[in-house]
Structure 1
Amino acid sequence: MTTDATTAPAVAPPEGEVPPWLLDALLGTVVAAAIALIVAMEHGGRQPPDVLAYSFAAGFGALMLLRRRLPRTMLTATVLGTFAYHALGYPPIGVALPVVAGLFATADAGLTGWAVGAGAAVFGVSTGFRLHDGEALGYLLGYEGVSNIALITTAIALGYSTRGRRVRAAQQARIALLTADQAARDAELRVRVERERVSRDLHDTVGHAMSVISLQAGVAAEAIGHDDTEAREAVRRIQATSARSLRDVRSMVRLLRAGPDAADGHGVLSLSGVADLAETARGIGVDVRCDIRVRPDELAPQVDVAAYRIVQESLTNVVRHAGASRVRIEAGVEDGALLLTVADNGRGPAPGGAGDDGHGLAGMRERVRTLGGTLTAGRDGTGFTVRARLPARWPE
């Protein structure tokens, strides 16, 4: 069993606009008055108009109140009412006049097939009744027929086009909503990615500094009272490491405040700063040898920063876990790619240690993957090696 479920639910009109029910009441009044006027003219018919004939006119007008909520019901009742009126032999009221509003409402509700079928049925049956009443076929199929067909067609076409405009407007509104929602999700994703990047940077900076400071503090504690010169040197290294760490953190904070496009990243964290990292590692007894064959202008800022962080994290793992005495750092640009190697003679990160906690080796891999590069890390015959390959001129 079908219903009028295709009709859109009624909503309150914007302030200052005429309520739809009032417009329908006015339309119903006009329809009822027009049909009553035609009935009163007594043009043809087998019997003169009476109260029932005018009741039909009022009923056709009242059905206009259903055209928005129940268009199919309204159209069916109008068509059947038209047939009943002509069957009773009252003066003809025209083929299309009673059903024009119903045809429009049904097409507007997306029931175009119903509208076309009802229009054809009304035209055919009404014409048959009028022929039975003695009206001339030439008159009914000529001027009268053309005008009625035009009214029926126009009503259906207007309903169809009105629905089309409404559907397009709804689709455009939906597209705008989805576009805004997608833009919000993209912005949220960018914020999340930036937070992850800052988290990795803070982990790398503070983790490296804390590792060095912890070792130097142990050296100072053991040397106090036995070797004051070594204790002072350890404290000096703690001071230098903490100052450099604070400087790096402040640089990141300045970049965050200024926005992602306010600085290019060079001069804040760069392969040019690897020498300081190497000096810090040497200060705690690790023999670090550097072979950096890269000019700052050869690398995109993001790649330069990532390379620095890889070296920093690798040295942090050496200090914390590897038990290495020698580290070799090599970097160079070949065929448009930065090749970076950090190799030591130790045992590598301990399972479950900082190198495996999602912020060490995993963090390095994620950083390299984001830039379109690759990273491998593992033990070899002489120790533990980290190798990274990144596009040198990653899009800025």
Structure 2
Amino acid sequence: MAARQHPEAVRVPAPGGPRAGGDPRLTDAVLAVAMTLAIAVVIAADFGGRGSSGPVAYAFAVGFGVLVAIRRRVPRTMLVLTVLGVFAYYALGLPVIGTALPAVAALYSAAELGLTAWAVGSGTVLVAVSAYFRVEEGQPLTYLYGYELVTNVALVAASIALGVVVRLTRAAREQAERVRLLTAAEQAQAADRRLEAERVRVARDLHDVLGHHLAVVSLHGNVAAEALGRDDVAARAALAQVGDATSAALRELRATVKVLRGAVPADAPRGATSLTGLDALARTARAAGLDVVLDVHVPPDALDGAIDAAAYRIVQESLTNVLRHASARRATVSAHVVDGRLVVRVADDGVGTAGRADGPEPGPGHGQGVAGMRERATLLDGRLEARDAPEGGFVVEAELPARLTT
């Protein structure tokens, strides 16, 4: 069976952690080269007609590209230096390259890295200063407000919006991944809890099966030992009962193993592990010398399978405790459905807990068997009481729902 990863080993990525899509340094280097080439092409084209292209202008192009390369490490510094670089570029009277083009990468990067306020503030300053100096230069207001200002505002807004969208998309993807991993961890924990519950259930079943049949074997073994050599017929009968008990135990163990292996379909007949098997259980106890009286009136299909099986196990464990501890001659088993609840009662005429030779601990009301019965009832939203009867003997009374609630 393949080992399942423990839920605690599931690692949830932290926000802002490593991102898929390649080495970010290579991406920044490509963007830096692209920015440098784009500005250099605009400088060479000299759309403003200044004719002042030279090494200084191209040095600015390289500088703007270098700033793009450091955008992840120092985004605020990159943004401020870019805005100041644009102002310095135009202060030197270099060829027109626009105000938004050099700042596009800086504004996008700041917004992408969560510095939206810085990006908006820097973009506003850049557009406002550019518009002011355009007016000072005597540029027609119709051109300024009808084309250039609108274009610059649109580029600045688009750059910031794109950065915000990319950041939010990445955050949503990281959140979805964290949710997926947490869900997987929760499912793994739930599977572990179901597995542990199944182990406990199987342990209870094995305890009940082996405890009952071994008690029968022990009693008949003692009878055979005492009768050997004096009453061979009684010895052979006792040994036959030992064989029957061991065969029954092996059958139930095989059935349990089949359940563990998944070999039994969910809709398989309930078989002996239900109230319909109480007759066989009573015969086994009677053969061990206990007079068992059955008062069972449960309509067919009145109980869910889990309730039926739990009721059978409670009766089985109760009779086992009677055989082991009670020194009883008679036991009465009753089961009735009243107002949608199954009431099961097992009473004996034995010594109870106080009358045992070895004291009340661990009497039939204090051992692991009773604890297991009480746990069965509690898990099924029922209750179980085990106590000495006022008239003598011991009583186990369980109340279970006839149907499981969803």
User: Shorter-normalised TM-score: what interval?
Assistant: 0.7 to 0.9
2:375 aligned with 1:370: no
Structure 2: where are the runs of 5+ without partners?
1-13, 354-359
2:395 aligned with 1:385: yes
Per the alignment, do residues 394 and 146 of structure 1 end up closer, same or farther by CA in structure 2, a change over 3 Å counting? same
Inter-partner Cα distance in structure 2 for 1:234 and 1:166: 77
Q: Which residue type is aligned with residue 202 of structure 1?
A: L
State the match for 2:361 in structure 1: 351
What is the SS of the residue equivalent to 1:375? strand
Count, aligned residues = 385
Inter-partner Cα distance in structure 1 for 2:156 and 2:405: 63
Per the alignment, do residues 283 and 30 of structure 1 end up closer, same or farther by CA in structure 2, a change over 3 Å counting? closer
Q: Which residue type is aligned with residue 163 of structure 2?
A: G
Per the alignment, do residues 352 and 128 of structure 1 end up closer, same or farther by CA in structure 2, a change over 3 Å counting? farther
Tell me which moved more, 149-158 or 233-242: 233-242
Inter-partner Cα distance in structure 1 for 2:15 and 2:375: 53
State the match for 1:304 in structure 2: 308
Inter-partner Cα distance in structure 1 for 2:28 and 2:149: 28
Q: Which residue type is aligned with residue 340 of structure 2?
A: G
What is the SS of the residue equivalent to 2:202? helix
Give every structure 1 segment of 4 or more consecutive aligned residues whose post-TM-superposition deviation is greater than 6 Å: none
Per the alignment, do residues 84 and 289 of structure 1 end up closer, same or farther by CA in structure 2, a change over 3 Å counting? same
Shift of 1:291: 0.5
Normalised by the length of structure 2, the TM-score is 0.86
Inter-partner Cα distance in structure 2 for 1:42 and 1:299: 90
State the match for 1:149 in structure 2: 153
Shift of 1:330: 0.4
Q: Which residue type is aligned with residue 100 of structure 2?
A: A
1:79-122 deviation per Cα after TM superposition (whole angstroms, max 9, x unaligned): 22223323444344322111111111121222222211111111
1:243-266 deviation per Cα after TM superposition (whole angstroms, max 9, x unaligned): 111111122222333356444451
State the match for 1:325 in structure 2: 329
State the match for 2:206 in structure 1: 202
Structure 1: where are the runs of 5+ without partners?
1-5
Normalised by the length of structure 1, the TM-score is 0.88
Inter-partner Cα distance in structure 2 for 1:143 and 1:216: 107
**Which of residues 251, 266, 275 is equivalent to 2:270?**
266
Q: Which residue type is aligned with residue 154 of structure 1?
A: A
Per the alignment, do residues 312 and 12 of structure 1 end up closer, same or farther by CA in structure 2, a change over 3 Å counting? closer
Inter-partner Cα distance in structure 2 for 1:8 and 1:99: 24
Inter-partner Cα distance in structure 2 for 1:269 and 1:210: 17
State the match for 1:286 in structure 2: 290
State the match for 2:6 in structure 1: none
**Which of residues 370, 376, 387 is equivalent to 1:361?**
370
1:275-318 deviation per Cα after TM superposition (whole angstroms, max 9, x unaligned): 22222222333222110112442222111111110001111111
Inter-partner Cα distance in structure 2 for 1:191 and 1:21: 47
Inter-partner Cα distance in structure 2 for 1:250 and 1:7: 52
Per the alignment, do residues 272 and 11 of structure 1 end up closer, same or farther by CA in structure 2, a change over 3 Å counting? closer
1:208-244 deviation per Cα after TM superposition (whole angstroms, max 9, x unaligned): 1111211221121122122223222221221111111
Inter-partner Cα distance in structure 2 for 1:247 and 1:93: 91
Shift of 1:207: 0.8
State the match for 1:314 in structure 2: 318
Inter-partner Cα distance in structure 2 for 1:9 and 1:84: 36
Tell me which moved more, 371-380 or 130-139: 130-139
State the match for 1:233 in structure 2: 237
CA RMSD of aligned residues (A): 2.7
Per the alignment, do residues 97 and 164 of structure 1 end up closer, same or farther by CA in structure 2, a change over 3 Å counting? same
Tell me which moved more, 200-209 or 123-132: 123-132
1:28-69 deviation per Cα after TM superposition (whole angstroms, max 9, x unaligned): 233223333444527388x94553333222100121212344
Q: Which residue type is aligned with residue 364 of structure 1?
A: M
2:118 aligned with 1:114: yes
For residues 25-104 of structure 1, the aligned pairs below 5 Å read 25-40=29-44, 41=46, 43=48, 48-104=52-108
Percentage identity across aligned positions? 48
What is the SS of the residue equivalent to 1:360? helix
Inter-partner Cα distance in structure 1 for 2:334 and 2:308: 14
Inter-partner Cα distance in structure 2 for 1:200 and 1:7: 46
Q: Which residue type is aligned with residue 289 of structure 1?
A: V
Shift of 1:22: 3.9
Q: Which residue type is aligned with residue 218 of structure 2?
A: S
Tell me which moved more, 276-285 or 254-263: 254-263
